[in-house]
Chain A
């Protein structure tokens, strides 16, 4: 889009700063030196995308390559999209205003299933053919995706040229090098040669090189049809995570992003084995960075960005073997600059008040813990080996030390769940509130808040619960009602997920290639920003599924243990037999294997 076109549109849209670019640390290069243009596309609004660490990392890694220019593209909000369509203007990147169709590679970050329709929304606004076979001729860019949703990318198989399974830090450079070596493919033959080369890289899955077979509506086989394609695609993993450089020059958005802070990844993977947790399984093994690497990177990132908060990222920060030393030294380095430190959600059993206290000396923030289930029995089923006594002890200590807000994450719809397990959530939250009131300073008691987030289990691929059935709509609502009854108090602030969005998430998370038609249909019916409740339409999904001759029951049902699952040809390093054993252990509530 030319600058003049953009200037004409910006006064007409909400939050125009989403589209202006020019943020601090955004990269502009001499275009005569650029041989490979990569668009890093995020299928959600700018504020959401700019909070995502992955896109920031890939942006910096790629832009360090002299011949590569990485630029950012976000899904334009509906008002901007309407104007682009009306004036026949293509979607362009923030850095150079280059139309998306003129890039060599368009890489999407798939963070959430409800963003799938936005992938098609972005491609269609860019004028890029949606189906990969339609792009074979004509020099269209290669369209790829990475992120946690590539655990089962089958519902998107028809739209993408390739997927990146696992961690992108290293493979992204190999992809760029391969594309540079081949040049931009102008015909289908050259495009296929390039895809064959890419398929040879560990972690690359080219869906068009595989054929899925169905019998009586059930998947019976996924076979490789190209010699370059491995029978099972292995995920990519950074083995020496401790030596992986910490990127310290993230783009600083003008707009307030959802997570407006320097994010430093202190570890990857999780040493615990919660049976519902997809990211816990797919990011194995647990790896961490040394304090000596984290501190200078955090300080440098603050100096390079000017941001006022540093967030330590990990699945559970308290698992870091040097967490006390890390928080103490970070505080020492950052508090003179007025920079605060934050820790994301932590496990109750590993929570270390001393370390956490170090993080709040500069700025007090809420305490976030995830007991996940209300009863000890249920926590045994999901292998969340924490006890109520530990939780109450933690809350007492924290509130006695000055905290006044706690956020608790719970889930419903877990296997073997009974009404007693649901009632136990309310009971536990009330006990937390009582413990908080008892231990808080009398002057703080009026400020006590207990936020409760109630999610519904979506049995995700590559977890011990991947075979479990998904609760239906009415069942979810009934169970939510039971829990809510126990959450009646002024200081308790419950939030719950929309059951219909949960069902669509489950459909797409465990679906197969036949869902490509459904997603396309929903897109054609105007589906976009499905993760935003104001744009989500259950009816649209329901109609599209029916129109494609498919049923909810088929996708939300319990899967047989000997059944071929749509993602069985993709390996994230955890064997199916192990997951099955864990499932059986869950049934008897026994401890799992980390």
Chain B
């Protein structure tokens, strides 16, 4: 079966795949995750459309390049197919081929016309585990709420900031921080680190996970 790229937009079939990057896979770079995903697509025998250049490439675009060390439950990719397939069938075949830590795969059909908008993430939420030490959860919560008004981060940047106190002794607190991505490199982790540093708090950020994002078309 030849997976050549269809000539017209109406023949193109676009699906959005959401998968996770968890556990030890946090140590993979974006390029390594992308390679692992592309190989899983080939194993799953998806009819991925190929580019028509000298070096044929699968027509797959990744939504966001996540830094090394950060988990995600919402990593996304837009995959162009040469044939239409049922999303459930695609999801089942792909899930069976993803490495541990990349499960599960959710597949949705998307209109090709909004491909560019689908790639544009405008805000994202991260869940971070913070070992507070002597710091009280309420203090951190207050600092997060006051960060914009105090000029620590640009106004209008923070979309959501919540702190859940530790449930047991020495357990980390959970911080949900959602920021508008004014620049690609501006991430919740950076904002959180800036706030902690500004107060000279030695609280350590133990683990971060991207859990949600928003686009204009969502």
Contacts and interface: CB of A to CB of B under 8 A. Distances in A.
Interface of A: 7, 10-11, 16-17, 20-24, 252, 254-256, 302-308, 336-340, 362-364
Contacts of A10: 24, 27
Contacts of B57: 338
Contacts of B56: 338, 362-363
A364 B53 CA distance: 11
A16 B27 contact: yes
A25 B135 CA distance: 45
Interface string B19-35: 00000110111011001
B42 A256 contact: no
A302 B27 contact: no
A252 B39 contact: yes
A20 B25 contact: yes
B35 A256 contact: yes
Given A11-B69, A22-B99, A336-B1, A256 B32 contact: yes
Contact of A22 (B2, B32, B101): B101
A254 B32 contact: yes
B3 A336 contact: yes
B41 interface: yes
A305 B27 contact: no
Given A302-B42, A303-B45, A254 B36 contact: yes
A38 to B, nearest CB: 23
B97 interface: yes
Nearest to B31: A256
A305 B2 CA distance: 19
B66 to A, nearest CB: 14
B28 A17 contact: yes
B99 A306 contact: no
9 contacts: A10-B24, A17-B27, A17-B28, A254-B36, A256-B35, A337-B42, A338-B3, A338-B42, A340-B55
B27 A338 contact: no
B61 to A, nearest CB: 16
Nearest to A365: B55
6 pairs of A and B residues whose beta carbons are closest in the complex: A306-B39, A306-B42, A16-B27, A20-B24, A306-B43, A336-B2
Nearest to B42: A306
Given A252-B39, A306-B42, A336-B2, 20 more contacts: A17-B28, A20-B27, A22-B101, A24-B40, A254-B25, A254-B28, A254-B99, A256-B35, A302-B42, A303-B42, A303-B43, A306-B39, A308-B38, A308-B42, A336-B1, A338-B3, A338-B50, A338-B57, A339-B42, A363-B54
A419 to B, nearest CB: 43
A276 B48 CA distance: 47
Interface residues of B, number: 32
Given A11-B69, A20-B24, A255 B43 contact: no
Nearest to A3: B24
Given A303-B43, A305-B39, A336-B3, A23 B69 contact: no
Interface in B54-91: 54-58, 68-69
Given A20-B27, A22-B99, A254-B36, A363 B43 contact: no
A11 B67 CA distance: 13
Contacts of B92: none
A306 B55 contact: no
Given A254-B28, A256-B32, A306-B97, A338 B41 contact: no
A307 B97 CA distance: 13
B32 A17 contact: yes
Contacts of A307: 39, 42
Interface of B: 1-3, 24-25, 27-29, 31-32, 35-36, 38-43, 45, 48, 50, 54-58, 68-69, 97, 99-101
A170 B203 CA distance: 57
B1 A306 contact: no
B32 A24 contact: no
Nearest to A22: B100
Nearest to A336: B2
Contacts of A340: 55
A340 B45 CA distance: 16
Contact of A306 (B2, B31, B38): B38
A255 B99 CA distance: 13
B58 A338 contact: yes
Contacts of A24: 36, 39-40, 43, 99
B100 to A, nearest CB: 5
B84 to A, nearest CB: 18
A363 B35 CA distance: 18
Contacts of A364: 54-55
A362 B35 CA distance: 19
B32 A255 contact: yes
A256 B1 CA distance: 29
B24 A22 contact: yes
Contacts of B31: 256
Contacts of A7: 24
A93 to B, nearest CB: 15
Contacts of B3: 336-338
A337 to B, nearest CB: 7
A306 B32 contact: no
A363 B100 contact: no
Contacts of B36: 24, 252, 254
Q: Which of B43, B45, B50 has the most CB of A within 10 A?
A: B43
A440 to B, nearest CB: 16
Given A17-B28, A256-B35, A306-B40, A23 B99 contact: yes
B24 A306 contact: no
Nearest to B32: A254
B209 to A, nearest CB: 15
A17 B24 CA distance: 8
Contacts of B55: 340, 363-364
A305 to B, nearest CB: 7
A24 B24 CA distance: 14
A351 B122 CA distance: 55
Contacts of B29: 17
A16 B24 CA distance: 9
Contacts of B32: 17, 254-256
A21 B56 CA distance: 30
Nearest to A306: B39
B192 to A, nearest CB: 17
Contacts of B28: 17, 254
A252 B28 CA distance: 14
Contacts of A363: 54-56
A303 B25 CA distance: 23
A461 to B, nearest CB: 40
A255 B101 CA distance: 15
A22 B99 CA distance: 8
Contacts of B101: 22
Contact of A305 (B25, B43, B58, B100): B43
Nearest to B36: A254
A575 B45 CA distance: 51
Q: Which of A17, A306, A308, A337 has the most CB of B within 10 A?
A: A306
A304 B43 contact: yes
Nearest to B101: A22
